[in-house]
Amino acid sequence: MVSKSYEILLTLTFHTDTRRHASSENGNVRVRFAPSPTGFLHLGGLRTALYNFIFAKKHGGTFVLRMEDTDQSRLVSGAADGIEDMLEWAGISPDESPRKGGIFGPYQQSQRLDLYSQAAQTLVDKGAAYHCFCSPQRLELLKKEALRSRQTPRYDNRCRHLAPDQVAEKLGQGQPHVIRFRLQEGVDPFEDMVFGWNRHEVAAVEGDPVIMKADGFPTYHLANVVDDHHMQISHVLRGTEWLISTSKHLLLYQAFGWTPPTFGHLPLLLNKDGSKLSKRQGDIFIEHFAKSGSLPEALLDIITNCGSGFANNRTGRKLDELISEFDSSKITTHSALLDLDKLPEFNRVHLMQRIEDEEKCASLVKELQVLIEDAYGPQVQESDVLHDPYIRRVLHFRKGHISRLQDLVTPAYSFLWVRPCVPREQLEGVSSEAHAIITLVLELLQRHGKELPLESLSPELKVLAKKMKATKYSGVMKFLRLALSGHQQGPSVAEIMVSLGPNEILNRLQRLL
């Protein structure tokens, strides 16, 4: 563990303006999103996955999904599949993954254990790593002593100094052991794509880290470096929490004699008050958004809109626009503060775009059919309301007013699917000229035939209202709204009429005569 102030002291930031860019390396770009299946995908993870995806697509490269499931004690059942499902749902499908496979597979670290043991042995053979036989009790004691004297606990590297015959003897006796990496002093600075020049003198603050645990599983540091090398990852774009470990990873690359990838540490997504997104906040999981009617493109838009990486931010950006407008040199070191109260607005804009797209609208119609059946099935009196033309018309008239498809099956919109029951006395309370109003509206319907044009309907209703003796325009509108929707408030009467269509209006009004 390193104290925060020490970390800052050791982070030497030189020239942030001399960043390396991938644009010159088009074609060979391979990036990876490497989550631990210790929980389901949340908005923060999605953001980092998205930046990897965008970066890959921008440079004609490959987006790899790798499951870092070596910490067996923290695995959550179903999480690995859940993460891949949610990337698919979000439309940022990996090119290579545990499920899809690929030439560098398998893509689950738990299935690559031999590779890590061989790698660890290579380091031992080179003298860059060593077997450590210190017991958990000894390590605990070291920790307690350090804390008592107000020091940062660190391993004292005792087993570094074991003679080869001592090691052989202990191994021969089958003594439990781990493998530790021998940290070298004097690390070279590296140029991070976002944070510029950095260097962490790890050997000065940490004991030699474990790279292979007693159970034969590697730790993050080894597995990550080995896999990034073997999977030919060109750019490691990951959360800023890994910035401090990068010097350690570079020492590993050096010990193996491998060329390291380019690193870019992405700012984290935080709550709008600056607090960390917590897995205990149930509402940050992507599955929650998918189930509650958020559109994937709205989520991708809001999580990029609140951060950097683009020359300008605007609402309504779709994935192809995110890719074309992305500029990695515009990613700043500031955290991205997410205001989820704005999500309905993002969803509204993207739902409108879907409705305007012929093909996407056809899928929305199908989805809405299911929602209507579920919500109102047996109460639907007229089967036309379940058919494509009616639902499509409703979608076009309500676009821009609703932020989720589900809004259309709330009680406020039930009148679209189920005929309202309005007591005659209530209608008579609004106007004593019910018969006259209905007759005039039926005449209006006859004039128009099958289509009701919204533009001319409002002025026509005004003219119609003028013919009334005892009811003002507002009273006529109130009457019609109540008769047609059963509500006293809601969309304009003209919009209600256009949505319902002539047949349904006829049906609803004739019953009142």
Ligand X SMILES: Nc1ncnc2c1ncn2[C@@H]1O[C@H](COP(=O)(O)OP(=O)(O)OP(=O)(O)O)[C@@H](O)[C@H]1O
Residues that bind ligand X (CB under 6 A): 35-36, 38, 44-45, 47-48, 238-239, 241, 268-269, 277
Q: Which is nearer to ligand X, 212 or 338 (CB)?
A: 338
Q: Which is nearer to ligand X, 71 or 384 (CB)?
A: 71
Q: What tokens were used for 502?
A: 């002539």
Task: Report CA 494 to chain centroid distance, whole Å.
Answer: 39
CB of 71 to ligand X, least distance (A): 8
CB of 35 to ligand X, least distance (A): 3
Within 127-245, residue ranges assigned H as helices are 136-148, 164-172, 202-205, 220-230
Q: Which is nearer to ligand X, 277 or 337 (CB)?
A: 277
Residue by residue, what is the 3-state secondary structure of 30-70? EEEECCCCCCCCEHHHHHHHHHHHHHHHHCCCEEEECECCC
CB of 47 to ligand X, least distance (A): 5
CB of 366 to ligand X, least distance (A): 34
Q: Which is nearer to ligand X, 234 or 431 (CB)?
A: 234
CB of 40 to ligand X, least distance (A): 10
Q: Which is nearer to ligand X, 241 or 359 (CB)?
A: 241
Report d(CA 501, CA 513) in Å as an integer: 19
Burial of 160 (0-12, 13-18, 19+ CB in 10 A): middle
Report d(CA 171, CA 54) in Å as an integer: 48
Q: Which is nearer to ligand X, 190 or 415 (CB)?
A: 190
CB of 44 to ligand X, least distance (A): 2
CB of 475 to ligand X, least distance (A): 55
In this structure, what are the phi and psi dihedrals at residue 235, rounded to the nearest 5 degrees? -135, 125
Angle, helices 454-466/434-448, rounded to nearest 10 degrees: 150
CA-closest candidate to residue 50, choices 340, 224, 310: 310
Report d(CA 513, CA 441) in Å as an integer: 12
Q: Which is nearer to ligand X, 343 or 480 (CB)?
A: 343
Q: Which is nearer to ligand X, 91 or 239 (CB)?
A: 239
SS3 percent helix, strand, coil of the chain, rounded to 5, is 55, 10, 35
Report d(CA 183, CA 249) in Å as an integer: 10
Query: Which residues contact residue 22 at a Cβ distance below 8 angstroms, ignoring those fewer than 6 apart?
Result: 29, 55, 59, 234, 235, 262, 328
User: Using an 8 Å Cβ cutoff, are 259 and 58 in contact?
Assistant: no
What is the DSSP-derived secondary structure letter of residue 326? B
Q: Which is nearer to ligand X, 32 or 131 (CB)?
A: 32
CB of 109 to ligand X, least distance (A): 12
Q: Which is nearer to ligand X, 55 or 413 (CB)?
A: 55
Report d(CA 132, CA 214) in Å as an integer: 10
Report d(CA 79, CA 83) in Å as an integer: 6
CB of 70 to ligand X, least distance (A): 12
Q: What tokens were used for 348?
A: 């509204």
Query: Which residues contact residue 16 at a Cβ distance below 8 angstroms, ignoring those fewer than 6 apart?
Result: 195, 196, 197
Report d(CA 206, CA 65) in Å as an integer: 31
Report d(CA 360, CA 381) in Å as an integer: 28
CB of 260 to ligand X, least distance (A): 17
CB of 372 to ligand X, least distance (A): 37
H or E stretch covering 269: strand 269-271
CB of 277 to ligand X, least distance (A): 5
CA-closest candidate to residue 136, choices 101, 178, 96, 165: 178
Q: Which is nearer to ligand X, 210 or 365 (CB)?
A: 210
CA-closest candidate to residue 364, choices 395, 343, 387: 395
Q: Which is nearer to ligand X, 233 or 500 (CB)?
A: 233
